[in-house]
Amino acid sequence: MLRELSIENLAVIASAVIPLEEGFNAFTGETGAGKSILIHGIQAVLGQRTSKDLVRTGCKKAVISALFSPVSDETRAVLTEYGMDCEDDELLLTREISADGGSIGRVNGRSAPAALLRALGDTLVNIHGQHDNQILLRPERHLDVLDQFGEDCSLLTEYRSEFHALQSCARALTQLKKAEQDKLQRLKELQVILSEIGELDPQPQEDALLDAQYMEATRAEESAVLAETVSQMLIKGEENISDAISAACEQLNRLADAEPDAEPLSDRLRALNIELRDIADEVSAFTGGQLSPAEFDRLNERRNAVNTLAIRYHTDADGLRAIYENALKEVEQIETDADRLEQLSKERAERLHRVTELAKALTAHRQKLAERFSQRVGEELAELNMPRVKLSVAFSQGKLTPNGMDHAEFLISANPGEPPKPIAQIASGGELSRMMLALKAVLAARDAIPTLIFDEIDTGVSGKAAQKIGLKLRALSAHHQVICVTHLAQLATQATHHLLIEKHSTDSSTSTTVTVLDAEARIAEIARIMGGDDNSELLLQTAEEALRTADSLNTP
């Protein structure tokens, strides 16, 4: 629960440390004293939207701190989600609002985003203001209230789980159907890929191997041509060197017969001819490595085919094989998707049947729940001085939603014999406040939020009706900490802890203080509420008697 609220420089409040207790805490004060500022401060520290206008004039920032203790498991779960914890079973939330409009949140001294403050606030405090009565005027909220009343939410939980599974299945089915036309076109493209690359059947690194073989064959062909040319020049041609040297040797031999000194020259020329023939024999070895024309054509054709396809697909031989294999897998997946489409269609039909049956069961459960709910609200309304008002729940069914197929609306009959009508058509502001309080009372035992704050719940009521509201708030305080801002003595006398908000003005400034009232001061404040500032002895006695009466009404 909220143990202490500390405020600095928030609007007209310069500084205030406000202790709060278990039970029913009432804030009273004159109109314009700053009671609404307290609500704004609590909303700010719980992460709600802030405004620089909240900062006290002339100050750089406003600071609001709220100390909560003990800390519930729900609150601890939120802290754990954000990687935080609390020690000593205490939680301190702080919000600083700068005059320039910025704000900083802290949890136990650590910086925290507003989202964390809001998440924690949802487990710590429920603030009921006049605008919350709109829940009663908005039929779309009524089903949530009814479900909240139910003790066992397992059926709704199961339904939502199955409904979300149905949604996932339906989305997958829609996506598959939508992709069918694209897949048909893609299948044609894949078949072209499989045909082109499959027919070619490129081997690993074949493009590089073919290039090497082509270069080798080209080199061998060029070498053979050169070798043949040399051979022709040395020994094979019609005018080859070897024949010319042989003819020269014959002439040298004839010369040696006449000139003996020419014989060594003939021997040397004969040796040169032998060397030329040896060279020619070795050169001829370079003419045997070339491919046949048919083989070279086949090599060149294969090389061109592989390179052409590789260029078309912007890759190499290995890439072509990868594209082929991926295409095979994609074709298999497309064929599998066809089977998956059939499976999903069947699954969706089965899930739809299951969800529909659960929705029907949920409807039956809610209809029984509505009977108990209407009875309990009627009992609470009777205690709030509205004994003739009867609440009923009108159901209608529509399409399946995360909440089932039900639409629910609260109807009221203001007097016996009158047909039930929508609340908005017949309820006044005061009646709305009491009806909302009746709902709070009915839901109180099932509401895990420890602190309930009521801002001007007494609007539009007085007399006996106001006393009934006070008694109901006192009863609620047995299960929750109740904090109420009020201007009626009937509510203030029911409080177990009374605080006074006062505004003090000078020629140059205005400030507001918050004071915890002792017994004597409380009598004076109740008297002021009853009759104004001129508290006569009779009025003080009346206030004291009202407090005694309130205590007696709450004594078992």
Specify the pLDDT at position 126.
85
DSSP 55: B
Question: 407 pLDDT band (50/70/90 cuts)?
Answer: very high
Question: 159 pLDDT band (50/70/90 cuts)?
Answer: very high
DSSP 355: H
Specify the pLDDT at position 160.
94
Cβ proximity of 176 and 337 under 8 Å: yes
Paired residues of 94 in beta bridges: 65, 106
User: What is the DSSP track for 452-496?
Assistant: EEEESTTTT--HHHHHHHHHHHHHHTTTSEEEEE---HHHHTT-S
Torsion of CA 447, 451, 456, 459, to 10 degrees: 30
How far, in Å, are 46, 140, 456, 485, 503 from residue 520 at the CA level? 34, 48, 25, 20, 20
**Tokens encoding 341:** 């489409």
Name residues whose C-beta falls within 8 Å of residue 498's C-beta, 6 or more positions apart in sequence.
Answer: 25, 26, 28, 492, 516, 517, 522, 525
Specify the pLDDT at position 87.
78
| Between 518 and 455, residue with greater pLDDT | 518
What pLDDT digit, counting tens, does each position of 366-405 carry? Answer: 999 999 999 999 988 888 888 888 999 999 999 999 999 9
Name residues whose C-beta falls within 8 Å of residue 115's C-beta, 6 or more positions apart in sequence.
Answer: 47
Domain residue ranges of the chain, discontinuous segments joined by +: 2-129+429-517, 186-314
Specify the pLDDT at position 144.
87
Residue 388, φ and ψ in degrees, nearest 5? -85, -15
Question: 517 pLDDT band (50/70/90 cuts)?
Answer: very high
What pLDDT digit, counting tens, does each position of 39-65 carry? Answer: 889 999 999 888 888 898 889 999 999
CB atoms within 10 A of CB 517: 19
DSSP 262: G
Does the pLDDT of residue 254 top 60, yes or no?
yes
User: What is the DSSP track for 168-189?
Assistant: HHHHHHHHHHHTHHHHHHHHHH
CATH H-level superfamily of 2-129+429-517 = P-loop containing nucleotide triphosphate hydrolases (3.40.50.300)
Q: What radius of gyration, in Å, describes the C-alpha atoms of the chain? A: 49
Question: 33 pLDDT band (50/70/90 cuts)?
Answer: low
Closest CA to 143 of 159, 125, 128: 159
| Between 92 and 250, residue with greater pLDDT | 92
Question: 289 pLDDT band (50/70/90 cuts)?
Answer: low
Share of the chain above pLDDT 70, in %: 94
Does the pLDDT of residue 131 top 60, yes or no?
no
Is the torsion defined by CA of 253, 254, 259, 265 positive or negative? negative
Q: How confident is the model over 245-250, as a mean pLDDT? A: 82
| Between 500 and 507, residue with greater pLDDT | 500
Cβ proximity of 451 and 91 under 8 Å: no
